[in-house]
Structure formats: structure tokens, C-alpha cells
Structure 1
Amino acid sequence: MKLIAHRGLSSLYPELTEIAFAKALELDIHGVETDVRLSKDGIVVCVHDPIIDRVADGRGRVSELTLQQLRGYNFGTEAMKQSVLTLDELLEMLVQYEDKHLYIETKHPVRFSRILEEQVVLRLRYHGLLFDPRIHIISFAASSITWMKEMAPQLDRIHLRRSWEKWLNPVPNFVGHPTGLGISVERARKNPEFIGKWGLPTYVWTVDNASDIRWAKKQGVDMLATNVPGRAAALLARN
């Protein structure tokens, strides 16, 4: 089972910051996960929420702030100040670790629509990673999975599924032809038959409880996103 550090080593360091990823990349795990959005001036930044209020010492919507404005805020703590991280900067970190994978979650809905995916593809191409099997695109938005298939069909595309989607898509006619499916650990517990269903690899989030980690391994989960990757790795090594 592949362990993925959710938003970097977010249980010990400010989420989606340089220090969080630096520490996660040092661990003996499969890879790291990041969320991405576009700033007002079209820069791909690693921020989960549409607004920065929760994770920075400022206020505002990511899409209404330029990179320079975002740089003016602290995304860390008083004792550990951190600037907003761009996807370019994260990719520069990744290339130093040849064994690590990166899961890029495109956040939607956003005012920029498919421009977000276009910019992600451009950044990957710039860093020589567009055809690298270590790059995985994940999203709750079927539209994002479709756009990525059009622009970079060689990339792994994991569609994160919500519970209500089974009513909209009762048959396995997945938009964008994803190469993997993702479900929450809560839904996986209730419906373990979804794991590996339709022959697609399963990505499960966000799994921090020891009993859930052991359960996921027994159920054959392929990829597991966790806030405690070090602890999860140690646990699996003992079991």
C-alpha cells in the first residue's frame, strides 16, 4: 500500500508549505499530495481553501490576490514563518527525490475553469515532468479529469468520488476515463466493495487512525493519503 503525505507533513508543520513538503519528502514513503489553485495573475499556488483566512495571517480570496500580495502573508506560524508555495517551487523540490511521487489535486469550481489545468500542464512541461509516471492528477471535478485527459492523456488521473455521485452515475461510465478512483475512508468502511471496483486502483483519504490504516491494507487499498505518514509507515512495517 502506497503512503501519501496529505498536504505534506501537515500534522507537524503548516500545511502545504515548503517545510511541510521538505520534511515529508525525507520520509520513507511513496509520495506527497498538494492542492493547487490559481492566483489573480495566473500563478499555480499550493493552497487548499478558496480563501486564505484559515492558513495565513491575512484575508482574501486566492483568485483575487496576486502572487506578490500572497507573498506578503505568513502561511506558517509566528515561530516558523512560511511564504505561500508555488507549484514551480514544489516541483523543484520533487526533482531532487527520484523515488517520490506527487499527487496534484486541482481545486474546483474556480473562476479560471480549465486554465488551471492548462497551467499545471505548462509547469510540468517546464520542469520535464509531463511524461513522468511519478506525477498523478487527482480531483473531485469530473471536468478536471476530462480536461487532463485531453491535454495530457499519459498522466495518471484519479477521480475522487463523493457519495452522492453514485446516484448521478449508477453505472461505471466515468467522465474523463479516470485511471483510478478515490473515496473517503468513511465511505470505504461502509462500502468496502468499492475498493478495487471496476478494476481501477483505489485512492483513500484521509486516514490517520491506526485501526483504519491496518484495515485499509487488509482490504487491498492501493494508495492511502494520511496526515501522519511517518507513523503510518512505522505501523505498517510492524504489521
Structure 2
Amino acid sequence: MIFAHRGSSGTHPENTMLAFEKAKNAGADGLEIDVQLSNDGEIVIAHDEKLDRTTNGKGYIKDCSLQKIKTYNASHKFVEQYGKTEIPTLKELFDWLGGNDLLCNIELKNSVFRYPGMEEKVIRLIKSNMLEERVILSSFNHYSLVQCLQIAPELETAPLYRDGLFRPWVYAAQIGARAIHPNINVASDYVINSAIRAGIKVRPYTINSKASMEHLFQIGCSAIITDFPEKAIRIRQQNS
């Protein structure tokens, strides 16, 4: 499968509805998004804790109201091509997902700031939109993933990691996860194949080169997470 990393973020403003729409139109199987909480408790889709890199705003998302966040332009380096785009809420994305069949990997960005109540808020929204079968929860904060499964054991979770874990498929099973999302630099063929044999899906990030895409398709990796879903889909078709 091909998951669009923050949408089609290689060619469009990351984590915006424009990037999500582009990924869907390209034929991606799913989206990978990131969530933070505003100071009035709204779930917003943004990778960074700060507004500075991806918008014309400054400061932390956690210190801003949703109303204020919505005034900023999230087009960042693509502003000349696409004009103004907004930071979307998770609710807005879920409303849009109701009109298609994309999967959605939600990364809980709660390693820098704990965001009390984030897990409950996200899961409540998943359930109210009946998206339990289409959502994967991931995080570098593995305590948070365990908490998610305590709240909703039916959900799929996947620990993110960037350093070498010993037998990560065993670790994943121990914390109740059904997948692992490793940095590609620590996802050897041995790790990928061993995890899949053990029933643990593997979705490495961030796969942007043609050679890496081709190799992962050839060895039967479960999925890739890429900034360029259109490119990945073309290569997958050529290698099928």
C-alpha cells in the first residue's frame, strides 16, 4: 500500500486538504497525518508544535485558539502556486473521508507536549465517524499507544521509531500493536520480512527515491509512507 506522507507533501502544502485531495486523486491507498491540540482543545492537523515553519504565524499551536490558527496561511513554500490554505481540523478531514475509502494513519504528536486528553478526543472522533476500520494510530510516544488500546482495543496501533530496535515485531506484539512504522534506515530486509512473517505489518518512512520504492515493492513490504504518492503509484504499476 501507498500512504501519502502529510498528503502529497512533496508537491503540495503538507497536512492541508489540498494535499489530501491530491493524494486521493493520485490513487493513494491512505494518508499519513499529524495532530496537535489548540489551546481550546480542538484537534488540528499539523506536524510541528510551532506554526513557524509551515505557516506565516509564530509560536506554539498549543497557545493558540482554533479561530486564530485558522487565520494563518499554511501554504508555506508553495504559497506562490496555491495561495492561501488553512490548517484543517481532524473533524474536517473525517467529514471528507466520509466521501471516499482512504485509510488514515494518525500520528499523535504528543512526545514534546503531552497534550492531556488527546487520546480520548481522537478516539471519540474516530468512533463518532465510524472509522475504526480505516484508522491507524501511531506515535513516537509508545505509552500513548498503549493508552489508546486501553480505551479502544479494536483500533490498530503502530509504534514509530527511528533507532534500531531488537526484534521490533516482538516488541510490537508486547504492546498490542499490529504494525511497526520504522525509519527506513533501521528497517532492513531481515526486519521487514521477520515482522511480516510474525503477522506484524511494516510501513517504513519516508520513502521518496525510485530505488527504495522498487526494492520495497519487490520484497513485499506491507506499505510505504512517501511524500510523492503519484510517483510511487506509477512505480508500483511498473513493478506489478
Does TM-score exceed 0.5, indicating one fold? yes
Q: Which amino acid aligns with 1:80?
A: G
Q: Which amino acid aligns with 1:231?
A: K
1:91 equivalent to 2:91? Answer no
Show structure 2 runs of 5+ residues with no match: none
Tell me if structure 2 keeps the 8 A contact 1:114–1:144.
no
Q: After TM superposition, list the pairs within 5 Å mapping 1:52-201 onto structure 2.
A: 52-76=51-75, 77-78=79-80, 79-98=82-101, 100-129=102-131, 131=132, 133-163=133-163, 165-166=165-166, 172-174=170-172, 176-188=175-187, 191-198=188-195, 199=198, 200-201=200-201
Q: SS of 2:170's equivalent?
A: coil
Runs of 4+ aligned structure 1 residues displaced above 6 Å come to none
Tell me if structure 1 keeps the 8 A contact 2:94–2:129.
yes
CA 67–210 in structure 1, closer or farther in 2 if over 3 Å, else same: same
Tell me if structure 2 keeps the 8 A contact 1:180–1:203.
yes
The 2-side partners of 1:67 and 1:57 are apart by 15
CA 170–94 in structure 1, closer or farther in 2 if over 3 Å, else same: closer
Q: Which amino acid aligns with 1:109?
A: S
How far apart are 1:18 and its partner, in Å? 1.2
The 1-side partners of 2:238 and 2:147 are apart by 41
CA 47–150 in structure 1, closer or farther in 2 if over 3 Å, else same: same
Tell me if structure 1 keeps the 8 A contact 2:37–2:115.
no
Q: Which amino acid aligns with 2:17?
A: E
Q: Which amino acid aligns with 1:87?
A: L
Q: SS of 1:36's equivalent?
A: strand
CA 90–152 in structure 1, closer or farther in 2 if over 3 Å, else same: same
The 1-side partners of 2:210 and 2:176 are apart by 33
Task: Provide the TM-score with structure 2 as the length reference.
Answer: 0.90
Root-mean-square deviation (CA, aligned residues, Å) is 1.8
Tell me if structure 1 keeps the 8 A contact 2:184–2:207.
yes
Tell me if structure 1 keeps the 8 A contact 2:139–2:159.
yes
Tell me if structure 2 keeps the 8 A contact 1:203–1:222.
yes
The 1-side partners of 2:145 and 2:193 are apart by 19
Tell me if structure 2 keeps the 8 A contact 1:50–1:61.
yes
Show structure 1 runs of 5+ residues with no match: none
Q: SS of 1:205's equivalent?
A: coil
CA 67–187 in structure 1, closer or farther in 2 if over 3 Å, else same: same
- % of aligned pairs identical? 28
Q: After TM superposition, list the pairs within 5 Å mapping 1:25-36 onto structure 2.
A: 25-36=24-35
The 1-side partners of 2:235 and 2:168 are apart by 36
CA 104–45 in structure 1, closer or farther in 2 if over 3 Å, else same: same
Q: Which amino acid aligns with 2:25?
A: E
Tell me if structure 2 keeps the 8 A contact 1:51–1:61.
yes
Task: Provide the TM-score with structure 1 as the length reference.
Answer: 0.90
The 2-side partners of 1:148 and 1:27 are apart by 31
Deviations along 1:101-131, one digit per CA (max 9) or x if unpaired, are 11111112254445111110111122222x3
